[in-house]
Chain A
């Protein structure tokens, strides 16, 4: 369970990215956060693993405070939270397998992993993760030789290798074309359901949110302006989140 208690984030340049957010997310829920750029989505998601530290307030994961955790505690917490990024953030010149194995680094023996030696269990887990996202044959290929959709799948595999209880996805499909986006979202939803992982996804498009989410949280200027089921996310709600009406151009529901 993830709990946000009055989380406020003010950046050094004075920008108030989050204005006292309160939110509770039960275990296993697939939550999509929508809103314009600058609404605070990325900031919110990064307070869960403390890549961004709240200026006030606290984030708790299973009743353990992430915000107050230090050094080793924080790393332990982070190793249980998987994260995927809009730009995939793979090490381009390393192989796919090496990238996935990086997911094990929060957890295993220090000296051996510095030399690049992983246990058989780790290797098995990495290969299995690749199988679950459907690209087991790419294990020894260089990461930058893959297509965008495949690279994001490697990102998901890396997160899976952590055996996470929580998955954070910061605009995971923003760099992908619509058919590939839907494929990746489907995979994410499926894996999340199979393993009971609490998932937070940032998306730009509310239509995709309506299709995949158990719950939609809409943000505008650092505040939560909507919190409900996809059915409740009417077009009027849309206007509240985005400040304008939905139109045909931006409706990419159900492609491929």
Chain B
């Protein structure tokens, strides 16, 4: 199936300048990323290779052995602390959602008269969101004492930032049609709010809140590390004492609950939106 169509290589048309620049930029970026990575690796205070291998050899075997045979006696403790963790997440998410609800309207451009009007609201939410949750938990533990309350408060406040932003996005994306129709029929702003805005955003709000709950549940499992309640404390204690079989049991409960919650949550969220 010979095709005598290939001309001599010398007659290849040149690549336009813009394409050449684009390709050069891509290569540069890849090079930059690799260079930065290598630099970081070299300057980080990483342990010597043989120490790592040594540590692995000594500890990994013990860890794996412990993991393969979880300590069922720790089961009840695992379940009860995971339950506490679960409830913490519920309360934290609810507080976050409830408080984020009004704030989100302050951060929505289409309700605050344009991007300028929503700026303060958005900035406040960003400020709240910037704090890592653990930091908040530490502050609460120091300020109000250890226990699940500190964790709940930390999650609640952080969630306000997260949910406030996402709620705001949802509000900004609603269909302006129904609002216009209500105004045309003589309704005032309150009518517009309750009959057009709220019904449109509620399902998305619920779905987003559930998503945040999934994240908060994970966060709640580690807040205990700093004394803010939940399964984090028993977990870190057992890790420090290298009781891998008990760690394994705790992990099983954590992973199990999270997977189930994720699955149920996905189901519900799909039916909502």
Measured CB to CB, the residues of A under 8 A from B are 80, 95, 120-121, 123-125, 127-129, 131-132, 136, 139-140, 160, 163-165, 195-197
- A80: min CB distance to chain B, Å: 8
**23 pairs, CB–CB < 8 Å, chain A vs chain B:** A80-B1, A95-B19, A120-B12, A121-B6, A124-B6, A124-B7, A124-B8, A127-B12, A127-B13, A128-B6, A128-B7, A132-B5, A139-B13, A140-B15, A140-B16, A140-B19, A160-B3, A164-B1, A165-B1, A195-B1, A195-B3, A196-B1, A197-B1
Residue B9 CB within 8 A of the other chain: yes
Nearest chain A CB to B81's CB is how many angstroms away?
48
B5 touches A129 (CB 8 A): yes
C-alpha spacing A125/B4, complex, angstroms: 10
* Chain B window 14-30, contacts with chain A (Cβ cutoff 8 Å), 1 for yes, 0 for no: 01100100000000000
Count A/B pairs, Cβ under 8 Å. 37
Q: Which residues of A contact B9 (CB under 8 A)?
A: 120-121, 124
Which 6 A-B pairs give the minimum distances between C-beta atoms? Answer: A128-B5, A165-B1, A120-B9, A124-B6, A140-B16, A140-B19
Which chain A residues border B1 with CB–CB below 8 Å? 80, 163-165, 195-197
Q: Which residues of B contact A121 (CB under 8 A)?
A: 6, 9
Listed in ascending order, the chain B residues whose CB lies under 8 Å from chain A are 1, 3, 5-9, 11-13, 15-16, 19
Contact partners of A125 in chain B: CB under 8 A: 5-6
Complex Cα spacing A163 to B1, Å = 7
Question: Main SS of the interface on chain B?
Answer: loop
Q: Write the nearest CB–CB distance from A181 to chain B, whole angstroms.
A: 25
**A80–B13 CA distance with the chains assembled, in angstroms:** 27
Q: Which of B5, B9, B15, B16 has the most CB of A within 10 A?
A: B5
Tell me the minimal C-beta distance from B2 to chain A in angstroms.
Answer: 8
Compute how far the CA of A124 lies from the CA of B9 in the bound complex, rounded to whole angstroms: 6
Most buried by B among A80, A123, A132, A136: A123
Taken together as a complex, chains A and B put the C-alpha atoms of A198 and B8 apart, in Å, by 28
CB of A136 within 8 A of CB of B13, answer yes
Chain A proximity of B208: nearest CB distance (Å): 30
The complex places the Cα of A50 from the Cα of B13 at a distance, in Å, of 36
Docked complex Cα distance between A129 and B12 (Å):
13
Q: How far is the CB of B126 from chain A (nearest CB, A)?
A: 32
Asked if A124 and B12 sit within 8 Å, CB to CB, the answer is yes
Q: A121-B6, A124-B6, A140-B19 are in contact. List 9 more A-B contacts (CB 8 A).
A: A80-B1, A95-B19, A124-B11, A128-B5, A139-B13, A140-B15, A160-B3, A164-B1, A196-B1
Closest chain B residue to A166 by CB distance? B1
Question: Which residue of A has the minimal Cβ distance to B1?
Answer: A165
For B6, list chain A residues within 8 Å (CB).
Answer: 121, 124-125, 128
Closest Cβ of chain A: how far from B5's Cβ, in Å? 4
Q: How many angstroms between the C-alpha atoms of A160 and B3 in the bound complex? A: 9
In the bound complex, CA of A132 to CA of B7 (Å) = 12
Report Cα–Cα, A8/B12, bound state, in Å.
Answer: 47
A129 proximity list for chain B (CB < 8 A): 5
Could you say which residues of chain B place their CB within 8 Å of the CB of A131? 5
Q: Which residue of B lies closest to A80 (CB)?
A: B1
Report the bound CA distance from A95 to B11 in whole Å.
20
B13 cross-chain contacts in A, Cβ below 8 A: 127, 136, 139
Bound complex: CA of A163 vs CA of B5, how far in Å? 10
- Residues on B with C-beta less than 8 A from A196 are 1
Chain B residues with CB below 8 A from A160, complex form: 3
Contacts of B3 in A (CB 8 A): 160, 163, 195
